[in-house]
A and B are shown apart, each in its own frame.
Chain A
């Protein structure tokens, strides 16, 4: 009985670590793992990951630039192994065993599809023909493809999988935190990290600034630089390792109370189409205005905001019947109902033509002039750059962490980057494979030096 148990146990361990049930196949599996180790090294991943069951699947996907698929595939593999282990230790024909068998049967085709996706990515990274995918699919039984790709110098990846490491980045740190403003917004963000599967990722690091009331701030940065992450960290929705104060009050510690004092307009118009404009704003007023507001006062506020954003003529129309511009204005108006001190807008001009976008930003300028702080992300900054007081430029450093490359007046930004337009500034900090100049690290260090000075 005990011997049978240990035989089973050995089989399970062999399955999990070597992907194989029997002895002769194990030899091929060992060859597979050795060649995978070599392949990982070529791709910039630590070789020993090849020995870690399940994680190695994710790492193969990383090498193939297919991280999402890798997550799913390794999760499925974990479930598959678990089901297999349960089946080997439970009575066949039992309910549990039957359930596990069903699960494995369902997982096999799904894993096959995801494996094809991952191996197609690998073939692309190594710039090889698609027929290699077939060899990779059988590589755990016949490790021809990993042996060739791992050991032959002919097979080299076009680019390496980047592993985020948290060392060697503090050198850019300016060391200067922003002084907390009695009135206005102060951001002292040390880092914003996210744990993703088998690794910790630093999304943002060392962003310090103080924004005066009445300032309208433009937030620039290439794709993936962390603009939305930064805004979510600023408004407390996704807290970072940071101290964010609004009018001298810590936003993280008082998020529940202060969330009503922050307006966040998302990129998409997330409004129910089945309500009228008036009803949408009235519901928002009921939700976001203090209880002390009487019904007539709420009504007055809604009418005031509708007038301000030009929505009065369409107040009885269903939201689903509004034009793109009207819907965008409604989305902003909803956030403006509680008259927030901090107003954050994520690409409010997306889908609007130049004239409408300009009008919208002029409207925002008027709001800022009332002593509000407005932070706006836009991908077409130059048509409205003159309306802004300050500009924030975020850039991805060599470790793909979002860093501050500039914060200050718009005109000074032009001088700092030596560019005439905001779009040129963005281009200068974007990575080369994104069509940019790849000067992000240079400007991050330069800005850190400026801050030191």
Chain B
């Protein structure tokens, strides 16, 4: 056997040849062979830690290992039997391959006519081995097997056990019929009856045999419909015609053992093209930690229910602190509006159009991102500090306006607010747009479930759900405008409205303050400084503009320049992404409440592997619902005592700056945004219970009490 590093070896620029990164040899499962027999020969690759070699489809880059056999007359070699690969992320890309010690098996058939004393096998093996960089290596390998007669007893090869184990670990042909529908985006792969094969804590991934059929790096949303396992896969680059040819690949089901080691089972899948009807009503996302639990676990949503929730969520959104000040003033302005019905109706409809158009635009963006294979979550734009800073400046400007620092136009003192006064149809449209923008920091109850459902559905459903959300959001103002009867319920206009308007500035100041806190969590003290620069600039600009009212335009222009300059300066002085800080406050470090540790999938797997109860809180600084829950329900001494008493581990995942593991966990529970609260009972193999998005202390205490009666719990999980 000889190894020779290639001339192109990136390392072999100078100096003595380095040892190969992969130690390779050939081993057989028999110490000797007889004519007419088949022997399994393995190319054994012992790969340097941190490096990997590739599967038959190497993924986004790389090259599979190849073996060119030189065999005696009549001896034939079968193809490489590939072990189930692993997914190796490389920045935004993914490779499919192996690390550690692996055996690539080939079956060698000896002809019945074979003669001589031995069968000499020679193989030219070539592979690419990569870490950060890639190195092509090759080896000329030999294996000589004694050829013996029928009567001679053959002692077992010392490698027989290793090869048998490798054979056992090969993907087994799936006993389930598989089909896929490539008409839509994402394409849908359905593996019938496979749902029961996915044990608790398993991660499911489909590895395509060929390039171009699916996007290798895109997340794969798994769900269960009845007994069927359903995967949604972003399409690859190959033509539509190639997409609709049968789809071959390996379904990998990964579980973590008690010691944290990964166990991988693979099933060979050959899916035939099909056309599925619309999503089954009973489809529910596959929990990463097991099949969906019954009872209160992810509700099997129907489209109708999702639309109902979306409408309700949109309605409630009007009451959220980021929106209420703006829209309450708009509602009040309707009361004093003396315009005729036709004008009011036209304006109401244009406002509705503004809101609905904005929500449809959001839906379009979501669909586009998903088509590109990106992961998406509600509120994810708040992971961008630039966006947070700009929103903060907007809220401050609106608040200053309500405080009377500046006014716009010459209308009756203050009552007609620039944001809410009805003036022109275009204005109404943009009021709708603006209302949607100020609503984005808030998530209302019911919205999370509806949006979470929609995001894993086909595009028309996403549009339908967001359209309905927009309808619900616009409904109060539209109804008030359209119905004089409802309008009469509004309080009579009067001087008190000016006071009310000024009062309403404070929720807006609070929102701006909260966004500054979000920046502090994302960016630390430097970020706060940047935010304050922007805030002071906006305040100064507002004051300058307020002073300039009846005077020359130059002050107004200067004010505009100062505001833009201050926000720009703030954005520029935001620290680089790499300097981002992690939040101690998200962990509840400084407050009362149960002792928390940061969430990682590994830690969760470890704890559930030990059958310990775990409470998982997925949160973000910019998620107001999360903060409210933490304040009112989680950070109390009673909760801390109850957690300690029942030995519950408390894991907090901070999604403020985004985190792929948290995104994945959200996804497996059918959510696309925080908050998400999961309670693992600690019963072996049980799925977590998903707690509602609005928590109360008593509810949590009740759940903990239920945990204390294990019999009941175990029954519930069956």
Say whether A associates with B: no
